[in-house]
Structure 1
Amino acid sequence: MNYANFPLDKRMPLPSADAEKGEDFIDIERLLGMAARQVKVVAVCAVIGLFLGVIYLQTTPKQYMSVASVLIDEGLNKVVDDISAASVTMQTDAALLSQIEIINSARLASVVVDKLKLDQNQDFMNPPQSALAKGIGFLRGVIGYFRSNSADEIPGMENVDAATREAMKKEASHDYAVLKLQNEVQAQRNGRSYVIAIGYQSPNPALATAITKAYSDAYLADQLNASFDATERAAVWLQGRLAELRESSQKASMAVETFRAEHGLSANSDGQLMSDKQLADLNAQLIVAQADTARASARYQQYKAIVDSGSDNAFNDSAIASDQPASSVITTLKTRYLTIAKRLQDVSANYGADHPQAVALAKEKADVSAQIFGELKQLTENYRNEYEVAQTRETALRQKIADAAGKSSIDNQSQVKLRDLNQQATALTTLYQTFLSRYEEASQQQSFPVGKVRIISDATMPLSAAGPRTSKVLALFLVLGVLLGAGFGGLNEFNERFFRTGDDIRDRVGLKFLGYLPTIGG
C-alpha cells in the first residue's frame, strides 16, 4: 500500500511543546525512518563534496618539501675543550628550543633572503595558489582596499621623492620576504634526540631545496660566528684584565721589596729572617757560655778551698791540682818534695832529727811545700780570672740576646705586614699567570673556531609531492558533504508540514485514523 503525504491546514492547532517533552526516550525506529527518507539528500551532498574535492585537487598546486637535519653535537668541539677550561654543559630541552628560535629568527631569515635574493624571486614572493586561496586573497584585497585610500600606497610616502620611494619599497619587499620566510620555514626537534629538522615547502622543488640548504648552511655559519665572536670578546676582555693584573702584580712585588728594605727584613735562602737566625745563634752561644761559666766556677771554688785551707795541707791537696793539664810544675815540686821527705826520713832514722843534714832537709822540704802552695795560689788566681771572663762573656751574651729578642719582636711584627704583602703579591702573580694562560688559549681557539653543530642530512631534491594528499582531501570533502547533507536532511524533517503515518495523526492531532488512500492519478 502506498503512503500519501497529506498537507496540514496551517490553521490546525499543533501539539504544544509540553506534550512533546513528555517523550523522554529516543525513538530509534523514527530516527531510522528519517534517515531513510533523507538518504538521497545526504548522498547528493556527499557526491557534491567529492566533486568539490576533485576540483580543489585539480586547482591546488602541488607542494614539495625539502628537509635537512642538523645535530647539536657536544663532542664535535672536543679539540677546543682540550685547551679551554670553560665548563661545557649538555644541551637541555630549553637549550634546544633556543636553537629552534635561532633558526626561526629574523636575522637568519634575512641572511637566507640576501643569499638567494628571495625578495626578487617571483616563485617565492608570488607562488601559484589554489582557487580557494585566490578567492580568500581577493576578498582580503577588497577589504584592505576599502580600509585605505590606496591599495598599493605605503603610508608616509606622499611627500617622498622617487628614489627614496623606490628604496623604501625595496626595503618593504625585503622585510616582507623575511617575514614570509620566517612564517613558512619549519624547524622541529626529532623526538628526544639532539637532532633538529629544518624544512621548507614550496610548489617549486628546486626552490624548496635551495632554501632548506641555505638555511642549514646559514645556521651552521651562525654557530661558528657566534663561537668566534664569544671567543673574541673573551680575548679582548682578558687582554684588558691582563694589563691591569700585570700592573697590580708589579706594584705588589715592589711594595714587598720596599717594605723589606725599610724595616731591614733580610732573609736567608730558606726564607728565615736574619734577626731570627742571629737570635738562634746567640742562644746556642749562651748555652755554651753557661756551661763554660759553670765549669770555671767549679774549678775556681775548688782551688780557692785548697788555698783557704792553708799551706799545711798544700802537699795533700796538690794531688787534685796534679790532675789538671796546667799543673806540671806542681807535679815536679811534688816529686821533689817526696824525694826530700824520704831522705829526711832516712837521715832522721840513722842520725837523728837533730842531725845538721836532717835539719837542712827539713828546711828544704818546707821550702818545696811553700813553693807548691804558691803554685796553688797562682792556679787559683788564674781560675778566678777564667771564671770572671766566662761570667763576663755570659753576661754580654745575655745582653745581646735581649737586644736581638727586642729586634726580633719588632721584625716579627713587621713580618706580619710583610707576609700579608707577600700573599697579595703571590695571589696577584698567580691570577696574572692564570689569566695569561686563558688568554693564550683564547687566542689559539680564535684561530680555529669550532661550532657545536653539524649537518647530518643535507637537503635533497624531493621526488614526490608532500601535498595535498589526494586521499585525505577527498575524505575530508566527503565528510563535509555528508555532514552538510545531514544538516539539510534535518532541516527537511523538522520543517515539513505533512503526516506520514497513522501514528502521526493519532499522536499529534488526537483523532482516529481511518486508513490509507492509494495515490490517485499516477
Structure 2
Amino acid sequence: MNFSQLLLILRARKIILITTLLVVVFATAVVSALLPKTYKATSSLLLNYKGIDPLTGLTMPGQLLPGYMATQIDIISSKNVALRVVDQLKLAESPAVVAQFNEATKGRGNVRDWLADLLLKKLEIEPSRESSVINLSFNGSDPQFVAAIANAFAEEYQRASIQLKVEPIKKASAYFNEQTKLLRDNLEAAQSRLSKYQQEHGIVSVDNRLDVESTRLNDLSVQLVAAQGQAVEAQSRQSMAKGQRSAESPDVATNPLIQNLKISLGTTESKLAEVGQRLGRNHPQYLSAQAEVDKLRSELREQMQVTSNSVGNNAQILSEREGAIRAALAAQKAKVLELNRTRDEMNVLLKDVESAQRAFDNASQRFSQTKIEGQADQSDIAVLNPAVAPLSPSGPRVMMNTLLALFLGTLLGMGFSLLAEMFDRRVRSEADMSEMLGIPVLGTVAWKAPAHPRYRLINSLLPRQLRLN
C-alpha cells in the first residue's frame, strides 16, 4: 500500500476517522474536567561537594565525585528518609490515615511503611544538568500538605546524610579510644622498663659517661706507651750499670757524688805517690795516705754499687708502673665495653619507648580528629529554595491532554479506518485493480452508477472487489 492508496482509504472512511477523533477528544476533555486538581511543590537543594571536607580539610578522591549525585538521589528516594518524614509530620498518628490504611490493607502490615511507600510514589527527584542542584517535587491535592512534605523530605535528607556520615566516624572514634588506652599502657610499660634498667645500672647519662670513660681509656693508652718506653730504657740502663762496664754507665758516670769521690781519690792518690817518693812504705805518713786512698776507693765502689742498685730499682719501679698501667688499661677497656653493652641495651629500651610514644601520639591525634568529626552536625547540603504552597494547580493539564487526545484520536481513527478497509476491501484506484486481478490496467472510464434500482441490482451482483462506490 502506497501513500496515495492510504489517502484514498482515509477519504472513503472519513466518517470513522472523524467519529473516533471526536470521541477521544470529548472523552479526554470530560475526564480532565472531572479529575480532581493536583498541586506540585518543589524544594531545591544545593550539594556543595567540592572534594574537600570543611571540618578535617581532607581531600575527597576524584574518582568518587562522578557517582556522588546518583548516590544522593538514592538516599533521598530511600525508605529510611520517607519513614523519617512520616515520623516528623506524625502522619501515622492521624485517625483518618489509620482508617485509610485499614481499609486499603485490611490491617495487614505497618502503617508507617504503607505511608512511606505512598509518599515515595508521589515524590519526584530531578537533578539539574551540569550543576549541583537537586529539585524535590511532591504532588498532591492539598497545596499546604505538598509543600510541607517537600520541605520535610529536604530536611530529613539533610539529617540522614549527616547521620550516614557521622555514625561510622563515631564507631571509629570508639575504636581509637580503646586503642589509645592500650597504647598508653604500652608506653607506660616501656618507660617503666627503661627507668628500672637505669636504676639497676646507676645510669644518669650514658653518652656523657661513655665519653669520660673513653677519654680515660685513651689517656691510659698514652700512659702505657710512655711507660713501656721508660721501662725499656730503664732496663737498658740497669743492664749497663750491673755489668763489668758499670763505670761507663751514664747513670754512674754522671752521679755528682761519684764524680766528687773520683776527684778526691785522684787527689789522694797523687798525694800518696808524692809521699811514696819521699818516704818509705812503712812511714806513718805513707800509711796514713794509703789508708785514705783505700777508704776513698771503698766509698767509690760502695757509691757505684748504690747507684747501680738505684738504676735497677728505678727499672723495677718503671716495670711495675707499666704493669699497673696495663692492668688499669685492661680494666678501663672492660669498663668501656660494659658501657657499650649497657648503652646498646638502653638504646633498645629507648627505641621501644619512642615507638610506643609515636604510636600513642598517632592514635591520640586520630582519636581527637574522629571525636571532633563524630560530634559535628554540619552538612554539605543546603536548601536553596524551600517549597511553598502553590497558588495554581499543576494538573490536570486540559490543554496538554487535549493536544495529546487530538494526536491519539487521529492515530486511532486511522487504525480503525484501516481495520474497516481490511474487512471490506474496495477498488479505489488503478493500483487496486492491478493488485487484485494480477493483470495490467489498459485504461480507465470515469463512470458513476445511476440511482436506478436496476443498476443497484447489477452492482450488488458484482463481486465485492468490483463494486462501484
TM-score with structure 2 length normalisation? 0.74
In the alignment, residue 269 of structure 1 is paired with which amino acid? S
Matched, 1:478 2:453: no
User: Once the 2 structures are TM-superposed, how far is the Cα of residue 434 of structure 1 from its aligned partner?
Assistant: 2.7
Assess, with a 3 A threshold, how the Cα gap between structure 1 residues 201 and 389 changes in structure 2: closer, same or farther: same
In the alignment, residue 92 of structure 1 is paired with which amino acid? L
Match of 2:174 in 1: 236
Assess, with a 3 A threshold, how the Cα gap between structure 1 residues 194 and 125 changes in structure 2: closer, same or farther: farther
Matched, 1:100 2:38: no
User: Once the 2 structures are TM-superposed, how far is the Cα of residue 266 of structure 1 from its aligned partner?
Assistant: 4.7
Match of 1:114 in 2: 87
User: Once the 2 structures are TM-superposed, how far is the Cα of residue 486 of structure 1 from its aligned partner?
Assistant: 0.6
Gaps of 5+ in 1: 1-25, 128-149, 155-167, 323-329
* RMSD between superposed Cα atoms in Å: 4.6
Q: Could you tell me whether the CA contact under 8 Å between 1:70 and 1:453 is conserved in 2?
A: yes
Match of 1:199 in 2: 137
User: Once the 2 structures are TM-superposed, how far is the Cα of residue 396 of structure 1 from its aligned partner?
Assistant: 2.7
Distance of 2:245 and 2:112 partners within structure 1? 133
Match of 1:31 in 2: 6
In the alignment, residue 313 of structure 1 is paired with which amino acid? E
Tell me, what secondary structure is at the counterpart of 1:69?
A: strand
In the alignment, residue 160 of structure 2 is paired with which amino acid? D
User: Once the 2 structures are TM-superposed, how far is the Cα of residue 466 of structure 1 from its aligned partner?
Assistant: 3.8
TM-score with structure 1 length normalisation? 0.68
465-474 vs 363-372, which moves further = 363-372
Gaps of 5+ in 2: 280-284, 454-469
Distance of 1:502 and 1:249 partners within structure 2? 106
Match of 2:227 in 1: 292
Assess, with a 3 A threshold, how the Cα gap between structure 1 residues 27 and 288 changes in structure 2: closer, same or farther: same
Match of 1:308 among 222, 243, 255: 243
398-407 vs 386-395, which moves further = 398-407
State how many pairs are aligned: 440
Assess, with a 3 A threshold, how the Cα gap between structure 1 residues 194 and 368 changes in structure 2: closer, same or farther: farther
User: Once the 2 structures are TM-superposed, how far is the Cα of residue 483 of structure 1 from its aligned partner?
Assistant: 0.8
Matched, 1:210 2:148: yes
102-111 vs 185-194, which moves further = 185-194
Q: Could you tell me whether the CA contact under 8 Å between 2:25 and 2:409 is conserved in 1?
A: yes
Q: Could you tell me whether the CA contact under 8 Å between 2:21 and 2:406 is conserved in 1?
A: yes
Match of 2:205 among 269, 272, 287: 269
Distance of 2:3 and 2:159 partners within structure 1? 68
Distance of 1:336 and 1:376 partners within structure 2? 13
Match of 1:17 in 2: none
Tell me, what secondary structure is at the counterpart of 2:450?
A: coil
Tell me, what secondary structure is at the counterpart of 1:108?
A: helix
Tell me, what secondary structure is at the counterpart of 1:93?
A: coil
1:316-395 equivalences under 5 Å are: 317-318=250-251, 322=254, 330-331=255-256, 333-334=258-259, 337=262, 354=277, 366=297, 369-370=300-301, 373-395=304-326
User: Once the 2 structures are TM-superposed, how far is the Cα of residue 369 of structure 1 from its aligned partner?
Assistant: 4.8
User: Once the 2 structures are TM-superposed, how far is the Cα of residue 125 of structure 1 from its aligned partner?
Assistant: 9.9
User: Once the 2 structures are TM-superposed, how far is the Cα of residue 112 of structure 1 from its aligned partner?
Assistant: 1.1
Assess, with a 3 A threshold, how the Cα gap between structure 1 residues 47 and 390 changes in structure 2: closer, same or farther: same
Q: Could you tell me whether the CA contact under 8 Å between 2:51 and 2:65 is conserved in 1?
A: no
Distance of 1:429 and 1:485 partners within structure 2? 87
1:371-404 Cα shifts (integer Å, max 9, x gaps): 6523531331231221231243145336536865
User: Once the 2 structures are TM-superposed, how far is the Cα of residue 508 of structure 1 from its aligned partner?
Assistant: 4.6
In the alignment, residue 334 of structure 1 is paired with which amino acid? Q
Q: Could you tell me whether the CA contact under 8 Å between 1:333 and 1:371 is conserved in 2?
A: no
User: Once the 2 structures are TM-superposed, how far is the Cα of residue 240 of structure 1 from its aligned partner?
Assistant: 2.5
1:59-101 Cα shifts (integer Å, max 9, x gaps): 234433322232332469855215xxx7744553334323222
Q: Could you tell me whether the CA contact under 8 Å between 1:106 and 1:179 is conserved in 2?
A: yes
Distance of 1:114 and 1:215 partners within structure 2? 11
Distance of 2:23 and 2:82 partners within structure 1? 43
Q: Could you tell me whether the CA contact under 8 Å between 2:43 and 2:386 is conserved in 1?
A: yes
Distance of 1:506 and 1:443 partners within structure 2? 90
In the alignment, residue 377 of structure 1 is paired with which amino acid? S
Matched, 1:451 2:379: yes
1:431-442 equivalences under 5 Å are: 431-442=359-370
Distance of 1:507 and 1:87 partners within structure 2? 75
Matched, 1:248 2:186: yes
1:432-491 Cα shifts (integer Å, max 9, x gaps): 233233333444445543223222332234455444444432222111111111112112
295-304 vs 473-482, which moves further = 295-304
Matched, 1:50 2:50: no
In the alignment, residue 212 of structure 1 is paired with which amino acid? A
Distance of 1:469 and 1:321 partners within structure 2? 144
User: Once the 2 structures are TM-superposed, how far is the Cα of residue 298 of structure 1 from its aligned partner?
Assistant: 1.1
1:178-197 equivalences under 5 Å are: 178-197=116-135
Q: Could you tell me whether the CA contact under 8 Å between 1:106 and 1:178 is conserved in 2?
A: yes
Match of 2:462 in 1: none
* Higher RCO, Cα 8 Å, sep 6+: 1
Match of 2:328 in 1: 397
Assess, with a 3 A threshold, how the Cα gap between structure 1 residues 70 and 28 changes in structure 2: closer, same or farther: closer
Tell me, what secondary structure is at the counterpart of 2:67?
A: helix
Distance of 1:52 and 1:393 partners within structure 2? 129
Distance of 1:232 and 1:306 partners within structure 2? 96
Tell me, what secondary structure is at the counterpart of 2:314?
A: helix
Assess, with a 3 A threshold, how the Cα gap between structure 1 residues 291 and 434 changes in structure 2: closer, same or farther: same
Assess, with a 3 A threshold, how the Cα gap between structure 1 residues 298 and 119 changes in structure 2: closer, same or farther: same
Q: Could you tell me whether the CA contact under 8 Å between 1:321 and 1:376 is conserved in 2?
A: no
Q: Could you tell me whether the CA contact under 8 Å between 2:75 and 2:81 is conserved in 1?
A: yes
Tell me, what secondary structure is at the counterpart of 2:384?
A: strand
Distance of 1:497 and 1:56 partners within structure 2? 36
Percent of aligned pairs with the same amino acid: 16
Assess, with a 3 A threshold, how the Cα gap between structure 1 residues 69 and 400 changes in structure 2: closer, same or farther: same
Distance of 1:515 and 1:219 partners within structure 2? 77
User: Once the 2 structures are TM-superposed, how far is the Cα of residue 181 of structure 1 from its aligned partner?
Assistant: 0.8
107-116 vs 504-513, which moves further = 504-513
